[in-house]
Structure formats: structure tokens, C-alpha cells
Structure 1
Amino acid sequence: MEPLIQIEQMSHGYMMAGQRMPILQDISLTVHKGEFVAIIGPSGSGKSTLMNMIGCLDVPNSGSYTLDGSNVRKLSDNRLARIRNEKIGFIFQSFNLLPRLSAMENVELPLIYRGLSQHERRKRATLALEQVGLQERMFHRPNQLSGGQQQRVAIARALAGDPPLLLADEPTGALDSQTGREVMQMIQSLNAQGHTIILITHDLDIADQARRVIRIQNGILTEDRRNEP
């Protein structure tokens, strides 16, 4: 299996009252293409900071992070923005849809920044929305959609750019239990189709639906196990 993510001895912290407060400590992690990995940990464990590093929203103080062949720590801000747009599809707990745009327009939005033509954007957005079962809701605005449908739009937006990595941050956190199960079934289906997925959660039941579970505690990886198929 080919590595998509390679993290070596990555550490990160923030300055507070003149002292550096460590958040991540000597993290080493490899994720191969096609894996479905859940990163679990309680509030304050460092999982959100690790997610920010994996998502190229921040860069580590030390160590290395290579994503799909690019050494992230050495990239400029502009290059990091391009990596986020081309290499990572984000799925957020709060959906992050623009209320005045239709489902189609929300899915198209990240593709505008790639410089794709309107025809190509519409083609990709249509295919992505069909993939998540929203072909009949393409021109509805978020307030005309249920929570589960809004999360499906967010998943379609992540898929439309065909990124090598889907990064899901508590994707069921704003949903009722039944809708959450449906969203997790969709995420599992996407992984079965070959998509690499990293899911951030504090819920062990959600984490156990992934093929691999990594636990973080006090900024240190304390467990890395594979679930039985």
C-alpha cells in the first residue's frame, strides 16, 4: 500500500505567558491510500490540533509532515492554501454551507478557486450530488434541506474536487442518531470505493466503524489498532 500521509516526530505548541505550552509531542503516523482511520480523544487531548496539522490549516513547530509527496512544513501560505483546495476534502460538523447559495452552488464554490470553467464545475458538482443521493435537491438552499441532507451537500462538496484525502471533523455531531447512522454508512461506502478517510471524533461508537482507530491523549498517540472486518 502506498503512503498518503507520513508524519515523523511532529511536535507543536503555543506560546502562553512567555512559555511554550506543548500540545502535540513527537507524533509519528503513516496513513496509506484507501485507509479509513478514526482519531479519537477527549477534549483537550490534542486531536483538534492534529486535525489542523493534517488539514494543512497549521504547520508543526518541529518534525515533518508529507502529504501525497509534498513536505507541508516547507510550503508557503499560498501553497498551503492550494494544497488544502486540491488535496483535501473537508467535512465539518456544522456543514459550513453558505445560506444564500443552492446545494449546487455550494458544491461548486471550491472549484471556482481552482480556475475550472463553469461547465466543468457544474459537471463535477452534479456528479457529486448524484453520488450522495441529492439529484432532486440540487437547487434547494440549505434552509430547505434537513440536517442530514445538508451534511450530504457538504460531503458532495468534499468529493467534487476528487481530492486524495477526505477529512471529517465530527461529521455526525449535529445530527440525530438515525441520520448520523445514515451519514456514517455513506462515509463507509465512500471508503469502500477507494477514498482515503480520516475521521476526528470523541465518540468510541463512531470510531469503531472505521477500519483503524488511533487514540490521542495529552498530545501523545497512545493506541493504534485495527478493527476486525
Structure 2
Amino acid sequence: MKKADIFEFYRRLAEANPAPQTELAYGNDYQLLVAVTLSAQSTDVGVNKATRRLFQEVTTPAQMVALGEEGLKQHIKTIGLFNAKAKNVIALSEILVRDFDGQVPRDRDLLTTLPGVGRKTANVVMNTAFGAETFAVDTHIFRVGNRTGLAPGKTVLAVEAKLEKGTPAPFRRDAHHWLILHGRYICKARRPECWRCPVADLCRFKPKTPPLAAKSVAAAP
């Protein structure tokens, strides 16, 4: 995608949603870190249901450690991989208490040393909690980057590098939110809703998907 088209791509997404936010529910930086860690291979909706009561009880790493692994499991047992996630959340909470005075470090490299925190999770926390211009490439952004031609790449790191290099300054802070939401609600995996996409004319995806009604009419004898 050409530079001018990339700028216009983001401009339209920004116009449609001037202040995009994560759909994970949280009350502070620590709860955000926990929520993003729990969201791996799970939906934001599912995580929010699991953490609704948890976050009423637990607002700090020390409180999470006091709750314990078994207590945490009772709150998050409805989400995928809850056993491993509970173990990681307790372990990272212990480290935050011991090494960081209970605070979430404002450093991506330090964040990725925590149990269960990979580069994507660290990028989300750095961006959402601390305003860093990071690009957290999940399945939605990977798909949008490749399908549209915005940031093609064979790996997550390749797509992240393309976004890092090609995203214009006015849009860097919120870019990953716009792309995630676009992939989640419009540029869907199985059937992208091209007929209502605000950037369809800029997108390199050729077999544009028609509305269901139009498709039915076209298929009629």
C-alpha cells in the first residue's frame, strides 16, 4: 500500500472512531496486565465475565498473591487454559511484589520477563497503560495487515515491523486499537464485510464480499 493510501486508511478509521479503546475491562495498570494475560486464546467478552468479580476483590499484586492459585482458578475457570493462566498470574504477581514494589514496569523488555507475558501482551500494556507507540499484533491485526496490504508479512514480527515503519505519526498511538477493532467487526476472518468497510477502495483484497442480500439475488436463477 502506498504512503498516501496508508495515511488515508488510518484517517478514515480515526474519523469513524476518534478515541478507540481496548474492550477489556480493567481499573488500573495491574488489572490491565492481568486481563491481557488472561485474554490469550480467549475472547475479551469471556475474560470480562471472568474478571468482573475478581477485579472487585483484587486490585493489587499483593491481593492476588493472597487470593492464591486455587482461588484465582475459581474466578477464571470459564476461560481457556485457565490452569496455566492462573499459575502465570500468581507467579507474575509475586515477582511484581518482590522486585517492582507492586508496580507494573514501564518497560517492554522487563514486562516480557514476567511469566505468561509475551511480546504482544507487553505491547498492549505499554500502549494502553503508558501511551507508548507500540503495535500489538494479534490474529486480527495479522489478518488485516496481510489482507489489505497495509503491512504484509509472513510472521507476527514481520507485520509488527511493517506497522512500526509505515504508520504515520498522527496515528501511531491508536493504530493497533483501530486495526484490532476493524479485524474483529468488519474485516472478519471467514467473511469480511467489505460492503460496509470504510477503506474498501484502498484495500488490496480483490474478491470483495457483497452483502448477503445481494449475494442471494445474484445466485438466484
- The normalised TM-score by structure 2 is 0.29
More strand by share: 1
- The normalised TM-score by structure 1 is 0.28
More helix by share: 2
